[in-house]
Amino acid sequence: MRAPANHGLFAIAMAACAIGLICASPLHATEPAAVASRQRAEKKTFTDAEIIDGFLKTAFGAEYHLAGRVDRIRKYELPVRVFAEGRSDRKAQITKVVTDIALRVQHLDIAMSETSGDANIMVKLVRDRDLYRTISTFYGAERAKEIRNSLDPQCLSGFRKNEAFEIEHSDVILTVDNGDFIFLDCAYEELLQSLGPINDTSSVPWTMFNDNVQMGYFDVFDQYILNILYDPRIKAGMTVQDVHAVLPQVLTDVRTWVAKVNGLE
């Protein structure tokens, strides 16, 4: 990873996926029973206030940032291309995750890339025992120690933005050997956070951007967050006040889309 420019924000999101979680036998290769049970119990109806609160708490701020302001919207304004490096079966799962995200976020152009040179999101798939060595390679030994002491993550992501708060590049590090549920939970959370909503919050119980919540799939509430973020009326660099001015119209259209794509109409 190139070092971030002095003016830029480099933010990191981490997921504390506990090793003690039970990873049930999969229903099929990419849908563990733990995911299916959560989908059956999922809350899918939210008030405007709940959605707006969740969006503002995750799209602004940063769980761990190295430089720059965190009081503006950060997002990709260009097509997003993802390249995964590592174990082939996990790469296949990443492809399915990216395809699912593309299906559910209306105005986000995201797809896999066949080469690393064409990608602006790099996914590094590593063994659990190699996680902190990899983090040290990316961020340096001192920051890797800080990250380990602050949360002891099982996976993490970070992005670099320019002066206009447009994300230019993201890196995602995922461990591959802790079971399907943990892998999918980390993959969805970190890939989605690498797109902009990088702030974790413990005060929103319906989002995967809460270290006390494990999903393993792209839930309805977080589809609201990502669809608001990638609506063309929400621009990189907007303040909270700017966002509030357009949110009523944006949320109306986002509700229609999320209902349609999830069969909630």
In one-letter notation, the amino acid at residue 180 is D
CATH code assigned at 121: 3.40.390.10
**What residues make up the domain containing 153?**
10-15+46-261
- Please tell me the number of Cα atoms within 13 Å of 260 on its side-chain side: 11
214 to 13, 49, 56, 115, 244: CA distances (angstroms): 15, 23, 21, 31, 29
Is 98 contained in some domain? yes
- Inside any domain, residue 100: yes
> Within 10 Å of residue 117's Cβ, how many Cβ atoms?
8
Cα–Cα distance for residue pair 17/31, rounded to 1 Å? 17
The tens-digit pLDDT sequence of the chain (265 residues) is 323 332 344 555 544 333 222 223 233 344 578 888 888 889 999 999 999 999 999 999 765 544 456 689 999 999 999 999 999 999 999 999 999 999 999 999 999 999 999 999 999 999 988 888 888 887 778 877 776 776 667 788 888 999 999 999 999 999 998 889 989 999 999 999 999 998 888 899 999 998 888 889 999 999 999 999 999 999 999 999 999 999 999 999 999 999 999 999 7
Report yes or no on 199 lying in a domain.
yes
Q: Are 60 and 229 in contact (CB under 8 A)?
A: no
Tell me if 38 is assigned to some domain: no
Number of domains making up the chain: 1
Q: Is 199 exposed, middle or buried, given 0-12, 13-18 or 19+ CB atoms closer than 10 A?
A: buried
Dist CA 84 CA 122 (whole Å): 6
Structure tokens at 44: 């899918």
